[in-house]
């Protein structure tokens, strides 16, 4: 068996390498920037460095998401000693120009610069995304140099499993997948469960349209997730773990696969991790395009290779999960918070956010908003700050109409509630949910019944068909919404729709069905006049 990685030594070596060249070029290689042409930019700079013999002057480092996806591809020039200049909308030609200008003339190109002093960057607090735009996701050394795996080492060598759970309890962290269940309670349940075989599962089946924070974590900081899983398994006595990833995220699968192999080779996974008695085997399981598999019992069925249909709880997974063994399912973002908590202490984490919703939350900001991208803010940040300060407001002279959170299980928050702090309870009171963190801004050109129909179509397509209220109810609700949107709806239709909403909500088997009426209910609550205007038209035309 090879010797385990020496974290201190790797970290030192990596830090020294930083000073090897006068310049470091960091180019965002995340999926959004790649879609905008970042791959060609990275190649162009690498080619130029080689062709023009600049290897002693410049090193090129592809990084994960820098955040402001709408300004991509993003690139950062870093001079030895500290000076940093960021560039936006970089093309291959421009990237060469930027590098030459900095390296040869020591001159920046102000007209292409990205101002990092804007609130989009300064109002964020990055814990989960701390490594985004900084480390090279494909190199474990890069992660280690930024404190990677030190939390695992600390937990394994200085803390008892119970102490780890206590730290998580002090942190007060709640599940980031949507429901907000206290993480420490779940961990305690698995820890107390009987049996030698226990499983930890990372839920990376990020199905909510408009949310891509979990993908970004898996692609851009895969070791962070692995470290979180390892700490969770140590704390709860699990010896096997699965990462369930959507098949729609091939890059995440590839990166995680490589990261797991590298971690195993360095004795950070596998048998006797870091020469302790703790062993853990981690495997990836790939979904195949079923939204319902984000529900934990459906997810387990899918891991077992079956149709991903949910089942009634209890028994809860921590009593009877994968193949009947105690199993705990945590969201990817939740697990990405674990290493910082162990490193900095639960009290530090609890000091961020609000009393009941501690820490930060990552949001995917999209829709009718100036700055789209991934942001991370303390829990309890007013929605207005997110939309107006960080997001830069609604573009093209439009007016803010609503913010949609929680995807097809959430709701639309109208402008009169813009000052609401974003935390689990406040959003629930408004008829929406935190969800996994998609936040889509809609301007006054959007029709709310249309939006409700869009989400109902989603729930109808994704209903697994196991229970009748969801299978049949979503179809009926969709039909009614279609009639209303087409201008053929009647008052009776509206009444039926509201009735169906409560029936489906109260009688469906799993969260998908129970939450499917939420977009309709919330738009009816805040934008009822829009529905009625569509009915009135029908009456007027006779």
Partner 1 sequence: MSDTTTRRAAETSGRQQGDHPSGDNRFELVDKQLKRGRYSQDQLIETLHVAQDVFGNLSEDILVYVARALRLPPSMVYGVATFYELFTFDPPGDHSCTVCTGTACFVKGADDIVQGVSEAYDVPAGETAADGSLTLKTARCLGSCGLAPVVVFDGEVLSHQNTESTLELVAAAVGGGS
Asked if 212 touches partner 1 (CB under 8 A), the answer is yes
Q: Are 368 and 397 in contact (CB under 8 A)?
A: no
CB 272 within 8 A of CB 278: yes
Q: Which is nearer to partner 1, 159 or 366 (CB)?
A: 366
Judge whether 164 and 341 are in contact, CB under 8 Å.
Answer: no
User: Least distance (Å) from partner 1 to the CB of residue 401?
Assistant: 11
| Site membership for partner 1, residue 311 (CB under 8 A) | no
Residue 304 found at the interface with partner 1 (CB under 8 A): yes
What is the end-to-end Cα distance of the chain in Å, rounded? 82
72 in contact with partner 1 (CB under 8 A): yes
Task: List the beta bridge partners of residue 245.
Answer: 204, 286
Q: Of 198, 285, 389, 505, which one interacts with partner 1 (CB under 8 A)?
A: 285
For partner 1, the closer CB: 301 or 497: 301
By C-beta, is 178 or 207 nearer to partner 1?
207
DSSP symbol at 358: B
> Does residue 406 contact residue 435 with C-beta atoms inside 8 Å?
yes
The yes or no reply on residue 171 touching partner 1 (CB under 8 A) is: no
| Member of 160, 275, 289, 444 binding partner 1 (CB under 8 A) | 289
From residue 43, give the alpha-carbon distance in Å to each of 48, 93, 254, 381: 8, 11, 20, 39
Which of 108-116, 158-166, 186-194, 208-216 is the region at the interface with partner 1 (rule: CB under 8 A)? Answer: 208-216
- The helix (H) or strand (E) run that includes residue 62 is strand 58-63
Q: Which is nearer to partner 1, 149 or 242 (CB)?
A: 242
Residue 450, helix vs strand vs coil: helix
- Smallest distance, Å, CB 51 to partner 1? 27
Task: Tell me which of 131, 357, 372, 426 binds partner 1, using CB under 8 A.
Answer: 372
Q: Which of 27, 34, 49, 456 binds partner 1 (CB under 8 A)?
A: 34
Q: Which is nearer to partner 1, 348 or 454 (CB)?
A: 454
Using CB under 8 A as the binding rule, the residues of this chain from 110 to 169 that contact partner 1 are none
Site track 236-275 with partner 1 (rule: CB under 8 A), x = hit = -----------xxx--------------------------
Residue 276: helix, strand or coil by DSSP? coil
**435: contact with partner 1 by CB under 8 A:** no
Closest to partner 1 by CB, 33 vs 164, is 33
Q: Smaller CB distance to partner 1: residue 70 or 360?
A: 70
Rounded Cα gap, residues 109 and 102, in angstroms: 8
Binding mask 450-479 for partner 1 (x = CB under 8 A): ----xx--x-----x---------------
User: Minimum Å distance from CB 442 to partner 1?
Assistant: 6
How big is the chain by its Cα radius of gyration, in Å? Answer: 24
What is the DSSP code string of 107-170? ---GGGB--TTSHHHHT---STTTTTTTS-TT-HHHHHHTTTTHHHHHHHHH--HHHHHHHHHH
499 lies in the binding site for partner 1 (CB under 8 A): no
Instruction: Identify the burial level of 355 via C-beta atoms within 10 angstroms of its C-beta, where 0-12 means exposed, 13-18 middle and 19 or more buried.
Output: exposed
286 binds partner 1, rule: CB under 8 A: yes
Q: Which of 13, 18, 35, 499 binds partner 1 (CB under 8 A)?
A: 35
User: What letters, b where the CB count within 10 A reaches 16 and e where it falls short, cover 285-298?
Assistant: bbbeebbbbbbbbb
Binding piece for partner 1, criterion CB under 8 A, among 66-74, 89-97, 380-388, 472-480: 66-74
Cα 452 from Cα 143, distance rounded (Å): 42
- Total residues contacting partner 1 by CB under 8 A comes to 50
Which of 222, 326, 373, 421 touches partner 1 by CB under 8 A?
A: 373
Q: Would you call 356 helix, strand, or coil by DSSP?
A: coil
> Which range binds partner 1 by CB under 8 A, 169-177, 229-237, 382-390, 436-444?
436-444
- Residue 25 binds to partner 1 (criterion: CB under 8 A): no
Q: Cβ 305 to partner 1, closest distance in Å?
A: 4
Could you give the CA distance from residue 41 to residue 526 in angstroms, rounded to a whole number? 46
| Stretch binding partner 1 (CB under 8 A), from 158-166, 196-204, 256-264, 302-310 | 302-310
DSSP summary character for residue 28: E
Buried b (16+ CB within 10 A) or exposed e, 399-416: ebbbbbbbbbbbbbbbbe
Of 186 and 264, which has the nearer Cβ to partner 1? 264
Least Cβ distance, residue 163 to partner 1 (angstroms): 34
Q: With contacts defined by CB under 8 A, name the span among 26-34, 114-122, 166-174, 230-238 that binds partner 1.
A: 26-34
| Residue 148 or 367 having the CB closest to partner 1 | 367
* 82 phi-psi bin (left φ>0, alpha ψ -120 to 50, beta other): left
Residue 411 DSSP SS3: strand
Q: Which is nearer to partner 1, 364 or 497 (CB)?
A: 364
Assess contact for 69 and 374: CB atoms under 8 A.
Answer: yes
Region near partner 1 per CB under 8 A, out of 43-51, 69-77, 133-141, 488-496:
69-77
Q: Please name the residues in contact with 463: beta carbons below 8 A apart, sequence gap of 6 or more.
A: 292, 470, 471, 474, 512, 513, 516
CB of 296 to partner 1, least distance (A): 17
The residues of the shown chain that bind partner 1, judged by CB under 8 A, are 31-32, 34-36, 69-70, 72, 206-212, 215, 247-249, 285-291, 302-309, 364, 366-368, 372-373, 404, 407, 438, 440, 442, 446, 454-455, 458, 464
């Amino acid at each position: 068996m090879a010797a385990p990685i020496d974290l201190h030594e790797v970290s030192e070596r990596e830090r020294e390498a930083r000073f090897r060249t006068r310049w470091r070029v960091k180019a965002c290689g995340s999926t959004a920037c790649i879609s905008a042409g970042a791959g060609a930019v990275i190649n162009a700079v690498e080619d130029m460095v080689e062709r023009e013999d600049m290897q002693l002057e410049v090193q090129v480092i592809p990084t994960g998401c820098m955040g402001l996806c709408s300004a991509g591809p993003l690139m950062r020039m870093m001079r030895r000693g500290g000076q940093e200049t960021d560039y936006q909308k970089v093309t291959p030609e421009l990237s060469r120009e930027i590098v030459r200008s900095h390296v040869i003339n020591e001159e920046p190109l102000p007209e292409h610069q990205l101002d990092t002093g804007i609130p989009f960057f300064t109002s964020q607090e990055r814990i989960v995304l701390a490594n985004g735009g900084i480390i090279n996701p494909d190199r474990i050394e890069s992660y280690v140099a930024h404190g990677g795996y030190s939390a695992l080492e600390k937990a394994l060598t200085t803390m008892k499993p119970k102490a780890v759970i206590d730290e998580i309890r002090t942190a007060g962290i709640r599940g980031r997948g949507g429901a907000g269940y206290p993480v420490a309670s779940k961990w305690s349940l698995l820890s107390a469960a009987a049996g030698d075989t226990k499983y930890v599962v990372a839920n990376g089946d990020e199905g909510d349209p408009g949310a891509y924070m979990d993908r970004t974590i898996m692609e851009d900081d895969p070791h962070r997730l692995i470290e979180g899983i390892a700490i969770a398994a140590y704390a709860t006595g699990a010896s096997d773990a699965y990462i369930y990833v959507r098949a729609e995220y091939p890059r995440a699968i590839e990166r995680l696969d490589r990261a797991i192999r590298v971690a195993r080779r360095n004795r950070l996974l596998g048998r006797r991790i870091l020469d302790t008695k703790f062993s853990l085997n981690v495997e990836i399981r790939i979904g195949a395009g079923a939204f319902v598999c984000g529900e934990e019992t459906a997810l387990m069925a899918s891991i077992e290779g079956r149709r991903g249909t949910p089942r009634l709880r209890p028994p809860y997974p921590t009593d009877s999960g994968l193949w009947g063994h105690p199993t705990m399912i945590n969201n990817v973002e939740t697990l990405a918070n674990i290493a910082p908590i162990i490193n900095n202490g639960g009290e530090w984490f609890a000091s961020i956010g609000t009393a009941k919703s501690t820490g930060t939350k990552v949001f995917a900001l999209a829709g009718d908003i100036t700055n789209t991208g991934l942001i991370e803010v303390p829990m309890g940040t007013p929605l207005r700050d997110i939309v107006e300060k960080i997001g830069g407001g609604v573009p093209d002279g439009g007016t803010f109409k609503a913010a949609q959170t929680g995807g097809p299980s959430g709701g639309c928050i109208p402008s009169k509630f813009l000052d609401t702090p974003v935390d689990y309870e406040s959003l629930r009171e408004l008829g929406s949910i935190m969800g996994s963190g998609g936040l889509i801004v809609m301007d006054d050109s959007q029709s709310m019944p249309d939006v409700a129909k869009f989400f109902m179509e989603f729930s109808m397509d994704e209903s697994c068909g196991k229970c009748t209220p969801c299978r049949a109810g979503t179809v009926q609700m969709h039909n009614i919404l279609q009639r209303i949107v087409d201008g053929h709806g009647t008052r009776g239709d509206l009444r039926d729709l509201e009735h169906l909403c409560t029936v489906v909500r109260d009688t469906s088997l799993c969260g998908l069905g129970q939450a499917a009426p939420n977009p309709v209910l919330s738009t009816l609550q805040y934008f009822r006049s829009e529905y009625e205007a569509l009915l009135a038209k029908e009456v007027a035309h006779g």
